[in-house]
């Protein structure tokens, strides 16, 4: 057996002790493969792996596994996301086998946004299992070589298991325990919700480190640069479980006309630098939503290039 | 304006509206004969069904006259009545009848003048709306 | 109890537009308690149907009847002598009632008069809220006596999700995040250790997913 759990590039980078840098790419709302390739192209060479979202915000898009395969062909390493909203345990397990067969090695396990605010609110949801159980399913399939029903798998899939954590959702005191629970369930790495409230995140990390969670799992801090004051306000008010401090909104406003985006990027870079120094943080997950073309610049200015070859 | 004489059923609380009626009487102000008064001990006792029955039997309009919100003899009777009147308004709307055919008024025992005004207010409103289609 | 809401009159009028003799049947069970299908509501619906029809100049005869329960063949039998006098029946019971009527009276035209919503109770006057999804294998004792299957929008067994904010669920400010309540309650009870315990996937065989359900209790069968 190899020294790696799955042997993905991301796993190797983390295991070698490098500060990881991951990106994100939303599949197109259609079969526009050229658009997907273009978006992904910006990330090439800048990140260790690219999260491929799964009908994010419950809006129908090209399936995450299919888009992940396109990324693979383009020479990028996908971090295949899967939500529990749209599949029962049969579909979940068969998709896991399928993606592994095609060379996908990272998988991020999520519950998924409720369909109520998506583009098909009339749909029925599944939620046969939850994200915690999904993490454990992938682990059981990989480490025990068994399906959820206890039956043996003929060639088990070997995936590097990711989970999400929202340090800002409530109840705050329980969040770090829920993170511990995800690690216990089988998460190898964790990517957090976008961080804006640094004080709160420092507190969260302190608790995680006190509990020794950073030794059991790689924690990647989530960063999304603000493009505008409107976006900051929207995030503050409309996105459940998101915390944007008033001081940040003020800072963006203070930048003046035409300079807000630059200020947003500056803040993101400052964050990345702080995360590099922060105990327990193993990397950054950059979610530059519909801003993929700015990723090379951000990576360059943050000083995370070139990415390590492992 | 027109000689349509709307048939109106008025549910009146015996505590306030009826004493107002007595005052009106003393002032020699009388209600027109097309307003039929039904005296109730408290407007809170009026059910949606009572109000509907009036319409079912061909009334052009219905109103409830009761106490002020804060001086109801039975505390919340008038508020309940207001909710039921609103309920009937919704039903009328749903079956495409003018919800203004029903209303509620708050009175005080001494307001003889107002008691009569209310009746005329309803008559005028119903003259505009026209006869009930339920005949 | 089973909580239901009235169907819009318009919808009902459309359903029965081809019929002129209609029997409205209420039920003295849950739907009486939640004010949609008892004696009062039967009267209101009957009167409304008459007003609406008269308004359109169409004759209608509406009968009114209220049964003890519509989920019991014994009571359903009660209307056997009158049901044939009508061309259509509107049942104001939960979804069970009109089906029991449909099964017992194969030639009758039966219409549902209410929308059956959920199993729950009145949390205040005029406000009802869901409590149970009838999963067939109750597990609320793991969750501080509160049900995440019915009350978490995602039926999470290991919540709360990242969308929980200010005690509200991500789907709406009107919906409490039950996981927020579970966590606070269990932490206050000093049961953090239970809360961090992994809850494995639930078997849905006992829920609707296992197919339509039937229960036999031998000791009661005669
Ligand atoms: S666990 Fe099942 S049976 Fe118990 S309250 Fe929840 S849905 Fe109902
Ligand atoms: S916010 Fe709370 S109730 Fe809503 S889906 Fe998440 S955990 Fe469940």
Residue A4 in any domain: the answer is no
Same domain, C103 and C189: no
- Backbone φ and ψ for C169, nearest 5 degrees, come out as -80, 155
Query: Which residue CA neighbors atom 8 of ligand 2 most closely?
Result: C152
pLDDT band at B76 (very low <50, low <70, confident <90, very high): confident
* Cβ-Cβ contacts under 8 Å, B132 against chain C: 55
Residues of B with CB under 8 A from a CB of C: 47-49, 52-53, 55-56, 91, 94-97, 132-135
Tell me: do C49 and C96 sit in the same domain: yes
Question: Would residue C221 count as lying in a domain?
Answer: no
In a domain, residue C128? The reply is no
Among candidate residues C92, C118, C144, the one where a domain is terminated? C118
Q: What are phi and psi of A232, to 5 degrees?
A: -65, -45
- Both tokens of C57, joined, read 């100049």
DSSP β-bridge partners for residue C116: C4
Query: Among partner residues A85, A116, A130, which is closest to C158 by beta-carbon distance?
Result: A130
Give me the pLDDT at residue B15, please. Answer: 79
What pLDDT, on a 0 to 100 scale, did the predictor assign at position A145? 98
Comparing CA positions, the residue from A20, A23, A1, A2 lying closest to residue A10 is A20
Within a domain: A93: yes
Pick from A182, A83, A169, A166: nearest CA to A127: A83
**Assigned domain for C70 exists:** yes
Average pLDDT, whole number, for chain A? 96
Chains touching B (3+ CB pairs < 8 Å):
C
Judged by 3 or more CB pairs under 8 A, whether A touches B is no
Q: How far is B118 from chain C (nearest CA, A)?
A: 26
Chains C and A make contact, 3+ CB pairs within 8 Å: yes
The CATH number for C59's domain is 3.40.50.2300
Q: Which residue has the tokens 């509160």?
A: C146
C160 in contact with A, Cβ within 8 Å: yes
Look at residue A1 in the predicted model and tell me its pLDDT: 47
Higher pLDDT, C44 or B78: C44
Residue B20 pLDDT > 80, yes or no? no
Domain co-membership, C43 together with C100: yes
**Is A26 part of any domain?**
yes
C44 occurs within a structural domain:
yes
Tens of pLDDT, residue by residue over B50-67, are 999 999 999 999 999 988
Q: Starting from the edge strand earliest in sequence, which strands make up the sheet with B102-106, in order?
A: B35-40, B8-13, B61-66, B102-106
User: Would you say residue C68 lies in a domain?
Assistant: yes
Q: Which residue, C118, C150, C172, sits at the end of a domain?
A: C118
Per residue, the 3-state secondary structure of A54-82, as one string, reads CCHHHCCCCCHHHHHHHHHHCCCCEEEEE
| Domain annotation for chain B: domains and CATH numbers | 8-127 (3.40.50)
Strand pairing category for C114-124 and C2-6: antiparallel
A269: CATH: 3.20.20.220
Show the tokens assigned to C151.
């009350």
CA A32 to ligand 1 center in whole angstroms: 44
Last residue of a domain, one of C77, C95, C118: C118
pLDDT value at B74 more than 90 = no
CA dihedral sign of residues C71, C72, C75, C81: positive
For testing contact with chain C, the best of B45, B49, B62 (most C CBs within 10 A):
B49
pTM (global) more than 0.90: yes
Q: Which strand ranges, in their side-by-side order, compose the sheet holding C2-6? A: C2-6, C114-124, C127-132
Kindly state whether residue A2 falls inside one of the protein's structural domains.
Answer: no
DSSP structural state of residue A146: B
DSSP track, B71-116 = --TTSSHHHHHHHHHHHHHHHHHHTT--GGGEEEEE--TT-HHHHH
Rounded distance between C-alpha atoms, residue A81 and residue A268, angstroms:
24
Q: Are residues A116 and C171, on separate chains, in Cβ contact within 8 Å?
A: yes
From residue C183, alpha-carbon distances to A173, A177, A212, C128 in Å are 10, 11, 22, 23
**Neighbouring C-alpha atoms within 13 Å toward the C-beta of A241:** 23
Which residues contact residue C79 at a Cβ distance below 8 angstroms, ignoring those fewer than 6 apart?
A: C23, C25, C65, C67, C101
Q: Domain of A67?
A: 9-301
Residues 6 or more apart from C161 whose CB is under 8 A from it? A111, A131, A169, C154, C170, C179
DSSP-derived letter for residue C80 is: T
Burial class (CB in 10 A: 0-12, 13-18, 19+), C59: exposed
User: Residue A39 domain-assigned?
Assistant: yes
Predicted local distance difference test score (pLDDT) of residue A290: 87
| Average of per-residue pLDDT across A269-293 | 96
Q: Report d(CA C54, CA A165) in Å as an integer.
A: 62
Is the Cβ of C158 closer than 8 Å to some Cβ of chain A? yes
- Chain C residues within 8 A of B9 when measuring between CB atoms: none
Q: What are the per-10-residue average pLDDT scores of chain C (222 residues)?
A: 97 97 98 97 98 95 98 97 98 98 98 98 96 98 98 98 92 96 97 96 97 96 90
- One domain, residues C143 and C81: no
**From the list A127, A148, A177, which residue is nearest C154 (CB)?**
A127
Domain co-membership, C112 together with C28: yes
Is the model's pLDDT at A91 over the cut of 70? yes
For residue A244 the two structure tokens come to 């944007």
> What is the domain extent for residue C167?
133-209
Q: Are C78 and C164 members of one domain?
A: no
Structure tokens at A208: 């995680």
Q: Nearest C-alpha to atom 8 of ligand 1 is from which residue?
A: C132
| Domain assignment present for A214 | yes
Shared-domain flag, residues C137 and C110: no
- What's the token pair of residue C143? 């969750």
Please give the pLDDT value at position A102: 98
How far, in Å, are A17, A183, A255, B93, C74 from residue A276 at the CA level? 12, 22, 26, 65, 74
pLDDT for A273 beyond 90: yes
Q: Token match 């190797």: residue?
A: A12
Closest CA to A185 of A168, A169, A161: A161
Contact flag C10-B48 (C-beta cutoff 8 Å): no
How far apart, in whole angstroms, are the C-alpha atoms of residue B103 and residue B6? 15
Residues of C100-135 as b/e, b for ≥16 C-beta within 10 angstroms?
A: bbbeebeebbbbbbbebebbbeeeeeeebeebeeeb
| Binary contact (B49, C52; C-beta < 8 A) | no
Count the domains in chain C: 2
| DSSP string computed for C162-199 | TT-BTTEETTEEEEE-HHHHHHHHHHHTT-HHHHTSPP
**pLDDT confidence of residue C188:** 96
Count the domains in chain A.
1
> Residue C103 has which token pair?
């099964």
- Check whether residue C152 and residue C88 sit in a common domain: no
pLDDT tens digit string along A149-187? 999 999 999 999 999 999 999 899 999 999 999 999 999
Three-state secondary-structure class, residue A291: coil
């Amino acid at each position: 057996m190899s020294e790696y759990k799955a042997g993905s590039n991301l796993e190797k980078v983390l295991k070698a002790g490098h500060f990881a840098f991951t990106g994100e790419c939303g599949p197109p709302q259609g079969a526009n493969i050229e658009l997907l390739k273009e978006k992904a192209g910006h990330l090439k060479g800048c990140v260790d792996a690219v999260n491929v979202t799964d009908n994010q915000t419950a809006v129908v898009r090209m399936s995450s596994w299919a888009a992940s395969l396109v990324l693979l062909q383009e020479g990028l390493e996908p971090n295949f996301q899967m939500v529990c909203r749209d599949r029962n345990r049969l579909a979940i397990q068969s998709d896991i086998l399928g993606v592994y067969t095609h060379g996908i090695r990272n998988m991020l396990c999520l519950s998924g946004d409720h369909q109520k605010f998506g583009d098909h609110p009339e749909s029925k949801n599944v939620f046969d299992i939850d994200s915690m159980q999904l993490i454990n399913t992938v682990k059981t399939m990989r480490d025990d070589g068994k399906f959820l029903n206890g039956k043996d798998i003929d060639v088990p899939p070997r995936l590097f298991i990711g989970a999400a954590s929202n340090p800002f959702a409530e109840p705050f005191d329980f969040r770090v325990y829920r993170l511990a629970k995800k690690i216990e369930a089988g998460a190898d790495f964790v990517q957090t919700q976008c961080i804006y409230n640094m004080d709160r995140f420092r507190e969260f990390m302190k608790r995680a480190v006190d509990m020794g969670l950073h030794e059991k799992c790689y924690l990647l801090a989530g960063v999304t640069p603000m493009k505008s004051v409107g976006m900051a306000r929207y995030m503050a008010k409309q996105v459940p479980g998101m915390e944007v401090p008033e001081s940040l909104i003020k800072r963006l406003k203070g930048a003046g006309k035409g300079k807000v985006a630059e200020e947003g990027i500056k803040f993101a870079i400052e964050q990345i630098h702080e995360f590099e120094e922060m105990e327990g943080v193993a990397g950054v997950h950059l979610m530059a939503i519909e801003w993929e073309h700015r990723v090379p610049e951000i990576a360059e200015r943050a000083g995370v290039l070139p990415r390590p070859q492992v | 304006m027109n000689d349509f004489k709307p048939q109106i059923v008025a549910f009146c609380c015996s505590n306030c509206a009826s004493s107002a009626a007595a005052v009106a009487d003393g002032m020699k102000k009388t209600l027109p004969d097309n307003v039929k008064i039904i005296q109730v001990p408290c407007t809170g006792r009026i059910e949606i069904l009572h109000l509907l029955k009036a319409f079912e039997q061909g009334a052009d309009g219905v109103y409830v006259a009761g106490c002020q919100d804060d001086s109801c003899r039975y505390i919340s009777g008038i508020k309940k009545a207001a909710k039921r009147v609103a309920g009937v308004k919704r039903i009328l709307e749903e079956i495409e009848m003018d919800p203004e055919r029903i209303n509620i008024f708050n009175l005080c025992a001494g307001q003889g003048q107002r008691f009569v005004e209310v009746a005329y207010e309803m008559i005028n409103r119903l003259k505009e709306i026209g006869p009930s289609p339920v005949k | 109890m089973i909580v239901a809401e009235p169907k819009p009159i318009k919808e009902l009028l459309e359903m029965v537009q081809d019929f002129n003799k209609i029997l409205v049947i209420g039920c003295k069970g849950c739907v009486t308690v939640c004010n949609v299908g008892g004696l009062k509501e039967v009267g209101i619906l009957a009167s409304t149907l008459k007003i609406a029809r008269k308004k359109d100049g169409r004759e209608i005869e509406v009968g009114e009847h209220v049964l003890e329960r519509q989920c019991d063949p014994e009571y359903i039998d009660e209307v056997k002598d009158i049901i044939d006098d009508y061309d259509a029946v509107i049942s104001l019971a939960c979804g069970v009632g009109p089906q029991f009527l449909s099964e017992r009276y194969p030639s009758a035209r039966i219409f549902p008069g209410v929308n059956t919503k959920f199993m729950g109770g009145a949390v205040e006057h005029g406000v009802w809220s869901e409590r149970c999804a009838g999963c067939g294998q109750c597990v609320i004792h793991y969750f501080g006596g509160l049900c995440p299957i019915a009350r978490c929008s995602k039926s999470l067994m290991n919540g709360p999700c990242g969308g929980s904010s200010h005690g509200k669920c991500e789907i709406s400010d009107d919906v409490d995040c039950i996981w927020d309540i579970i966590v606070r309650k269990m932490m206050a009870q000093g049961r953090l250790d239970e809360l961090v315990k992994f809850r494995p996937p639930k078997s849905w065989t006992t829920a609707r997913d296992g197919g339509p359900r039937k229960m036999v209790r031998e000791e009661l069968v005669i």
